[in-house]
Structure 1
Amino acid sequence: MQRICVIGGSRYFGRLLVERLHAAGHQVTVINRGSTRPPAGVEHLVVDRGDEPALVAALGSRTFDVTVDQVCYTPVQAAIAVRAFAGRTRRYVMTSTIEVYDPAATGPTALPAHTPVPEEHVDPRAWPVAPDLPWDDEAYLEAHYAEGKRQAEAVFTRDGGFAFASVRSAHVLGGGAQEFTGRLAYYSERIGKGEEIAVHAEALPTVFIHYEELADLLLWAATASDFTGPVNACSDGRLDVRELAAVVAAQSGGTPVHRTVAAGGTASPFSFDRHYAMSNTRAKELGFAFSHVDDWLPGAVGETAAVTA
């Protein structure tokens, strides 16, 4: 049994992670602002993680083997966590995102064209941090989501007094009504109604992960592995937007109707005009076994179609 703290953990794969940690016999503490209670038997600390004095007071004398941070979006939040958890946790795992590799910010890779990007392409040890930017402005944060995650990783890597790992998640799908982003429902509904899907002329593939697989990987990262640094989390197999639409159509009926947008135009979710795929080789070498996207995507589409019908 390990003592594990989960910051966030109120919905989707975060809640599933909490359930699986508890079911595995670990002593789990959840920290959130109280909108959703954790399962019975899980300790619940209601506090805003951005309020440092309140967070420190809520933690009290508690110590943890591992802390899993599901809701760190800025370098300011990361710096607060570094101070609050100093001496309180042996290891810290942050949920990050594929968005950290957005070529619009990181620039082109030195890899051959369309090669899945490895973790070292964005090295948090060298990424600049600017805590004085307006990170508390919701509109600014939404527009700079990827940069906030990059800078948060950098703060933990350089300033944390504990072992630190980040899990850079691919686009998460599955779960029917649980999929709060609504992106899979978007395709199911539009294809079912024969409505247009806006795509780039040369849409490039990206990578995905099922929400249950991401919960499994976070469970593994927290309890079964001591790796540090970033690790990419994505199922095997890549899909572009047209291939994704074809899977949705095969499961839910209808025929995809594509409308090509001009360069720089707004397209549907998961239509990318720049390379957006990660390599999952490091996680495999560390011992995690991924599914293939073909193994679970049809079922996820079916779950979503049943909810949106």
Structure 2
Amino acid sequence: MQAFVVPTATSRTIDGLVWQERPVPTPGAGEVLIRTRAVGLNPVDYKVVEEGVAAWTFPHTLGLDVAGVIQQVGPGVTAFQPGQRVCGHGNLAVNGAFAESVVATAAALAPIPVGVSFEQAAGSLCAGLTAYQALFRKANLANVRTVLIHAGAGGVGSMALQLAKAAGKRVLTTVSAGKQAFVAPLHPDACLDYRQVNVTREVRRLTAGHGVDLVVNTIGHPEKDLPRLAYNGQLVCVLDTPTQVDPAQALTVSNLDLGGAHRSGDPAQVADLGRMTADLLARVAQKQVDPLVTQILTPADLGTGLQRIKDHRVVGKLVVRFD
């Protein structure tokens, strides 16, 4: 089979990645073999190339998000069968999804509902699951009325915006002027152009001076969000967390690492990836959320797609379709 690989340990750039003939993998206990039909492209896909992963052997096949058809099930797998449409977010420490066939942990997968395409499924995973985990695993929404979501035009931000609106929350989002038209159909309650306004001042103004109940930070510099939070507020960070928090504010700060479930060694956490994926895809099928796939590429354009993501030249989601 053909796979998109990091050929050697010294290959640390996107232009060093190559398509290469690799053996078709065999599923082990608790695993399935998937015939790839679509994969989602994410910033983490090029970042792990540049940073390296100690667990890799080479050549290493890239890719975390796969949607396809089960070809074979390994020992102990009873929840799935050959011919079933499935998708899931994989483990970056092992060979991944940018290949004609991929082995995946069955517990982390979910069936693709009727009416959801392979491309929609693949495009929903990394960003969508990160947003889902932020809102429905890390945050407690019981007393949340207002939410600030950074980078509303980005993959995680756009999915978090839709999920928060579907949950009945008032949503503010930071979006540059050039991307506000893209975000407008998602119906945020306010778009803050972070290049033109003082975000903290605007948040305070829009919340009668109280601040928001929840911030989903996908951009770093989380200390800037602390004065934007209301008393008892919650801050969920996809990147780094603030080093100091004023205890008088009674704030809750959470860090999010979606793929860490695979590395935890805890089967319950891996299985939760599958549960989150199933619920997220049900919401896609019900048209509560849209992964906003803006372009479908061919495998030959996979490297170009990663470079465009790195260069911040993408709005919405890039997906690669396999024949």
TM-score (ref. length: structure 2): 0.33
Higher strand share: 2
TM-score (ref. length: structure 1): 0.35
Higher helix share: 1
